[in-house]
Structure 1
Amino acid sequence: MPAPRKYSDELRERAVRMVEETLKESPGLSHKRVCTQVGDQLGIPGATLRNWFRNGVAGARSPRAVEVTEDPVARITALEREVRELRRANAILKSASAFFAAELDRPSTR
Structure 2
Amino acid sequence: MARPSRYPLELRRRAVRMVAEVRDDYPNETAALQAVAEKLDIGSRETLRNWVKQHEIDGGQRPGTTTEESAQLKALKKENAELKRANEILKAAASFFASMSSTGHTHARSVHRRAPGPLRRRRADLQDAHRARLQDRPFHVLRPQETPRNSLRPFRAR
Normalised by the shorter chain, which TM-score bucket? 0.3 to 0.5
TM-score norm. by structure 2 comes to 0.34
Please identify which structure carries the higher helix content: 1
TM-score normalised according to structure 1 size: 0.48
Please tell me whether Structure 1 or Structure 2 has the larger radius of gyration of its CA atoms.
2
